[in-house]
Chains A and B, each alone.
Chain A
């Protein structure tokens, strides 16, 4: 049975700067709280407005949170006084709308369709969580997104869309050792020595292994992306 002591949101009763900073500092309780709040808002929203399964709704929620986590990490999302959960909800809702379109699933309530297509989403839900955010949030992605991030502005290539599914398919096929090596290199950005030691290789052998894995990953990704 959950008590107040083990409820992560007990520490973050307000979605203020402190909550945002706790997320930035990667505090487990902050992420748990964000997950619980987003779950309670988004899952009923999606389930009641479309005939998608709970598994699909969860998948969309976790995609949305992953997208938010990356934006937070690379500075594309900055706190501007509005509820973080409201922002995450909007990211998830956009993904949900795309999912419905892609799978040709109709929304159950025609009136929500019009709302969902609009840039400005109005928080007018009877759900108490949504009502709370309605008071605190204008749900404005452009205002929260940091478009002036120097890293983005200085990029010398166009912002190409990553094909997440193709990456996932390719990654699933490269083999266990390669997955460990590639995750260590691309995601954790660890040294060759560290990455090699995880699969029992000396640095020189690890260098060859990393290169072969990267080659294989690239070939598969390029192939699946084209399909």
Chain B
């Protein structure tokens, strides 16, 4: 049904319960006899419910920020639970028997403590560096596993016998496919900044096969740029889109990232 201003007004009144009993009965009767009106009401109802849901979610996001600022969402909730019935015994440290002994040994303690501190610091720095290197290598490995220099071809639309002429490929579609190829080239040459810019632009453009493919390559670009969390977020969006050309790959990538933290 073609939505008109009058119908929109009526549906708005119906869904907001602003109709009188007689108006409501009349409107529902029309719906029973007019399938297209019934479908229009259903669509408008979905949009209304969806927007109400989004508004509520936004409300809880704001509430979360506020409670966090006030210190009411303590991190203690996120820590693993411990067995509080058996509190850990504090360590017992033997003290020196006399002040003289303490003074004599002070310089040795000081030197030993300095060495230990230095060694600990070095170890922590090395460990941090080492972990970071391992994560970077893992991201690169994941990228190599899923990256293909050639995107999937656009699916061929089956010939419709009733169609008088095939729709011409639009200039926008051609432009997107060329830009996607350029972005993939940039990605292949490790120019992740350029690739991310281009892929973001294409994926936010007119919906279609190439913008959808750009979205997938954007996830890979983030991975290559060591932005693992961003990559995972994009992949998660794709994994939830039925019919997306890279839905299956996105799901596998998420699983791969989860299994290789």
User: Interface on A for B, CB 8 Å cutoff?
Assistant: 1-2, 6-8, 31-32, 35-36, 39-40, 43-44, 47-48, 51, 53-54, 58, 61-63, 65-67, 69-70, 102-106, 126-127, 156-157, 160, 162-168, 171, 182-183, 185-187, 189, 207-208, 210-211, 214-215, 217-218, 221-224, 226-227
* Distance in angstroms between the alpha carbons of A223 and B78 in the assembled complex: 40
Task: For B50, give its contact among A32, A61, A163, A214 (CB under 8 Å).
Answer: A163
* Distance in angstroms between the alpha carbons of A96 and B177 in the assembled complex: 37
A53 near B229: Cβ-Cβ < 8 Å: yes
Q: Which residues of B contact A32 (CB under 8 A)?
A: 63, 67, 72
B46 near A160: Cβ-Cβ < 8 Å: yes
B60 near A211: Cβ-Cβ < 8 Å: no
Q: Which residues of B contact A65 (CB under 8 A)?
A: 56, 60
A62 near B51: Cβ-Cβ < 8 Å: no
B46 near A43: Cβ-Cβ < 8 Å: no
Q: Which residues of B contact A104 (CB under 8 A)?
A: 251, 254-255
- Known: A103-B236, A214-B8. Contact between A44 and B77, CB under 8 A? yes
Nearest B-chain residue to A223, judged by Cβ: B207
Task: For B54, give its contact among A48, A168, A223 (CB under 8 Å).
Answer: A168
Q: How far in angstroms is the closest Cβ of chain B from A175? A: 14
A227 near B243: Cβ-Cβ < 8 Å: yes
Q: Is B179 an interface residue (CB 8 A)?
A: no
Nearest B-chain residue to A212, judged by Cβ: B5
* Distance in angstroms between the alpha carbons of A23 and B71 in the assembled complex: 22
Nearest A-chain residue to B71, judged by Cβ: A2
* Distance in angstroms between the alpha carbons of A8 and B64 in the assembled complex: 13
Task: For A35, give its contact among B64, B81, B229 (CB under 8 Å).
Answer: B64
B78 near A47: Cβ-Cβ < 8 Å: yes
* Distance in angstroms between the alpha carbons of A217 and B3 in the assembled complex: 12
Q: Which residues of A contact B87 (CB under 8 A)?
A: none
Q: Which of B4, B51, B240, B258 gathers most chain A CB within 10 Å?
A: B51
B8 near A171: Cβ-Cβ < 8 Å: no
Q: How far in angstroms is the closest Cβ of chain A from B120? A: 29
Q: Which residues of B contact A61 (CB under 8 A)?
A: 60
Q: Which residues of B contact A222 (CB under 8 A)?
A: 43
Q: Which residues of A contact B81 (CB under 8 A)?
A: 44, 126-127
A183 near B55: Cβ-Cβ < 8 Å: yes
Task: For A7, give its contact among B5, B59, B72 (CB under 8 Å).
Answer: B72
A227 near B46: Cβ-Cβ < 8 Å: no
Q: Is B32 an interface residue (CB 8 A)?
A: yes
A-B complex: 5 closest residue pairs judged by Cβ atoms: A167-B50, A66-B56, A62-B60, A66-B57, A40-B77
B73 near A157: Cβ-Cβ < 8 Å: no
* Distance in angstroms between the alpha carbons of A7 and B88 in the assembled complex: 30
Q: How far in angstroms is the closest Cβ of chain A from B11? A: 9
B53 near A186: Cβ-Cβ < 8 Å: no
- Known: A103-B251, A167-B47. Contact between A160 and B42, CB under 8 A? yes
Q: Which residues of A contact B72 (CB under 8 A)?
A: 2, 6-8, 32, 36
Q: Which of B14-46 contact A (CB under 8 A)?
A: 16, 18, 28, 31-32, 38, 41-46
Q: Which residues of A contact B43 (CB under 8 A)?
A: 218, 221-222
B50 near A164: Cβ-Cβ < 8 Å: yes
Q: How far in angstroms is the closest Cβ of chain B from A109? A: 13
B258 near A157: Cβ-Cβ < 8 Å: no
B32 near A162: Cβ-Cβ < 8 Å: no
22 A-B contacts, Cβ less than 8 Å apart?
Answer: A6-B72, A32-B67, A35-B60, A40-B77, A43-B77, A44-B79, A51-B258, A62-B61, A70-B53, A103-B254, A104-B251, A105-B258, A160-B42, A162-B49, A164-B53, A165-B241, A171-B50, A171-B54, A189-B16, A218-B43, A222-B43, A227-B207
Task: For B28, give its contact among A7, A156, A185 (CB under 8 Å).
Answer: A156
* Distance in angstroms between the alpha carbons of A65 and B59 in the assembled complex: 10
- Known: A157-B38, A167-B46. Contact between A67 and B243, CB under 8 A? no
Q: Which residues of A contact B44 (CB under 8 A)?
A: 214, 218
Q: Which residues of A contact B48 (CB under 8 A)?
A: 186-187
Task: For B5, give its contact among A103, A168, A211 (CB under 8 Å).
Answer: A211
